Structure 1
Amino acid sequence: MVTLAEVARHAGVSASTVSYVLSGKRSISAVTRQRVRDSIEHLGYHPHAGARALASNRSRIIALMVPLRTDMYVPVMMEIAIAIATTAREHGYDILLLTGEEGPAAVRRVTGSGLAEAMILMDIQLEDERLPLLREGGQPAVLVGLPADSSGLTCVDLDFAATGALCAEHLAALGHRDLAVIGEAPGVYERHTGFAERTLEGLRERAARLGLRVLHRPCEGGYASLAGTLGRIFDERPGTTGFVVQNEAAVEPLLALLRQGGRAVPEDVSVVAVCPEQVAVQASVRLTSVAVPAQELGRQAVELLVAKLQGRPDEGVVLLPPELTVRDSSGPAPAVSRS
């Protein structure tokens, strides 16, 4: 096993200089720092994690809380988590992944044990039970999501309220007046999950200003569930010509059921989705969509956390602006709506 002393000899510096480069405790010139890093890479040196943590009082571990729920679209959560892990390694941190449904108990365990020196939390609810512990504990933390009260917290998220508004504006500009929102599973709204609630709030506010009528129907997303949901929508609002879908599992069942019902997309009905780019472009009809920037959310969460750990000014709430990409699923409203 390569030792720190061997790295020092190879780089032509003292052992303490190598230690300072690794810990960042003292300022080292860029030339010397690069020489040490080159020697570390050439020799394949890996500092002992336990010894490093004891010496520096830093574990170089970030705890990541990712509750994996059956009513959530797991690929998006995992894409964010992978981006977090990749960016963390670029900064010399490892990830401790917590996937249980412990909520506040997991926060207490992590902050009390000292195992991780910072935390990133996902799946944020408007009134999240974990947040009082974060505020009290003082451990550096970043939320991927936006609670109702973000005071004293660092958050990064897509601006979901603006996303909902953007979807309403797009359909209104095409002449649609009766819209239906195919939402996430009921449990997502029962927990008051931030992204779903904010999308709906933004859409409803903009629709009211534009004179649009909106129906919102949560849906489990499977074919049978969506068939019932779609039937109720057309029973209640036969003139519905615009759909906003925020449920990846509902995309293909919706397109199939519209075809079976004799409604062509986009000639009779327009569909706009809030979903990952991959889901939009691989659908049977390429979807007009607002992409969920999973990789960017993960990357920025780590960058914000590293800034906090280094004592740089806190940016508070960072909301990524939504971008709507027009594809094949949206078009002008039909001249005469179905009755």
Structure 2
Amino acid sequence: MVKITDVARHAGVSPSTVSYVLSGKRSISAGTRERVLASIAELGYRPHAGARALASSRSNVLALMIPLRSGIHVPVVMQIAVAVVTAARRHDHDVLLLTQEEGVDGLRRVADSALVDALIVMDVQLHDPRLPLLSELGRPSVLIGFPAEAADLTCIDLDFHAAGRECADRLAGLGHRTVALVGSPPEVYERQTGFAQRVESGFRESVRRHGLSAKVYPCEATADAARALVRRLLAELPDLTGVVVHNEPVMDPLVRAFRSAGRRVPEDLSVVAICPDELAEHAEPPLSSVAIPADEVGRRAVDLLMAKLAGEDVPAATLLPPRLTTRASDLPLGRIGER
């Protein structure tokens, strides 16, 4: 293992000079600094994380607040969390997980104890009670999600408004005139969670622009709720030919319930989903969908946070554009019933 003394000997300087180059605690001439950095690169030296933390008064730990509560699709949350941990390790940082239930108290606890250098917060509500504290803590933070007012905050997420709009646009473009949005569980809307609100607003924007007949239906994340909702949909919208689904656990039960009620997908009903690609690809039939880019969201959240820790300017808002992939679950209205 290469040591700091090996780097110092190779660069022709003292070990303390190498330490100052790494920590930035003293001004080092440009020539000496370049020589030390060249030796570090050539020898493959990697500073010990604990030593770096002591030298820089940093913990080299990021906090990630994850939403393990009702109405949240845990596999997507964990996919984002794994991406955050993996990206943080590439920056030689570890990740401390906080649960949503810890709320404001959890954020204050880790900030006051100097356990973490910076924070990533998920499951952002339109009027999130944690936001005033984030502004007070004096530690860099990134939100995965957008509140109603995002001034002085750094936020990243899929553009869920555009995703809802694009799904409805897809159905309208296929000629469908009566459509529905099967949304997140009711408690997600009651908490005013940003992503659910924005999917609905984008869906409604498209519906108005195309002059469609449409309704929005929150749905509990169970097969029984999906079956009950199908009965309600067909009673309230007998001319229904297109459905947007933004509720991962009920996608398959919903399609099966429609089939049991005599509406086959896509022969009698077109379905477009907002979900991870792997879920859409393995559905029966494979669903046309807007992907939830969980890996990219987690990775880029860490990149934004590391840039802030380095004192760099970062964009206040990063909205990832929706990507709709067509598969086997939607047909033009004129072809409904052909098969």
Instruction: Give the TM-score, by structure 2 length.
Output: 0.91
Distance in 1 between the 2:216 and 2:303 partners? 36
Bigger CA drift: 150-159 or 105-114?
105-114
Q: 1:36 aligns with which of 29, 33, 40?
A: 40
1:228-274 Cα shifts (integer Å, max 9, x gaps): 01101111111111110001101110111122222121121000000
Q: Which sections of structure 2, spanning at least 5 residues, go unmatched?
A: none
* Structure 2 partner of 1:228: 228
Taking a change above 3 Å as real, the CA distance of residues 209 and 7 of structure 1, as seen in their structure-2 partners, is same
Give aligned-pair identity as a percent. Answer: 50
Q: Per the alignment, in what secondary structure is the counterpart of residue 215 of structure 2?
A: strand
| Cα distance, 1:35 vs structure 2 | 2.9
* Structure 2 partner of 1:89: 89
1:16-165, aligned counterparts within 5 Å? 16-23=16-23, 29=33, 32-37=36-41, 39=43, 47=48, 49=50, 51-165=51-165
Distance in 2 between the 1:18 and 1:61 partners? 24
1:33 alignment partner AA: L
1:1-339, aligned counterparts within 5 Å? 4-5=4-5, 8-9=8-9, 13-23=13-23, 29=33, 32-37=36-41, 39=43, 47=48, 49=50, 51-334=51-334
Q: Per the alignment, in what secondary structure is the counterpart of residue 85 of structure 2?
A: helix
| Cα distance, 1:21 vs structure 2 | 4.9
Q: Per the alignment, in what secondary structure is the counterpart of residue 271 of structure 1?
A: strand
Q: Per the alignment, in what secondary structure is the counterpart of residue 75 of structure 2?
A: helix
Taking a change above 3 Å as real, the CA distance of residues 32 and 3 of structure 1, as seen in their structure-2 partners, is closer
| Cα distance, 1:113 vs structure 2 | 1.4
Q: Which sections of structure 1, spanning at least 5 residues, go unmatched?
A: none
Q: Which runs of 4+ in 1 moved over 4 A?
A: 9-13, 24-31, 334-337
Taking a change above 3 Å as real, the CA distance of residues 290 and 48 of structure 1, as seen in their structure-2 partners, is closer
1:98-137 Cα shifts (integer Å, max 9, x gaps): 1251111111112211111111101111111100101122
1:12-52 Cα shifts (integer Å, max 9, x gaps): 653124324543556675664253255455xxx66262x54
Q: Per the alignment, in what secondary structure is the counterpart of residue 64 of structure 1?
A: strand
Distance in 2 between the 1:37 and 1:48 partners? 17
Number of aligned residue pairs: give it.
Answer: 333
Q: Per the alignment, in what secondary structure is the counterpart of residue 274 of structure 1?
A: strand
Taking a change above 3 Å as real, the CA distance of residues 172 and 310 of structure 1, as seen in their structure-2 partners, is same
1:304 alignment partner AA: L
| RMSD over aligned Cα atoms | 2.2
1:133-192 Cα shifts (integer Å, max 9, x gaps): 011222110001001000010000111111111011100010111111111111111111
Q: Is the 8 A contact 1:11 1:39 kept in 2?
A: no
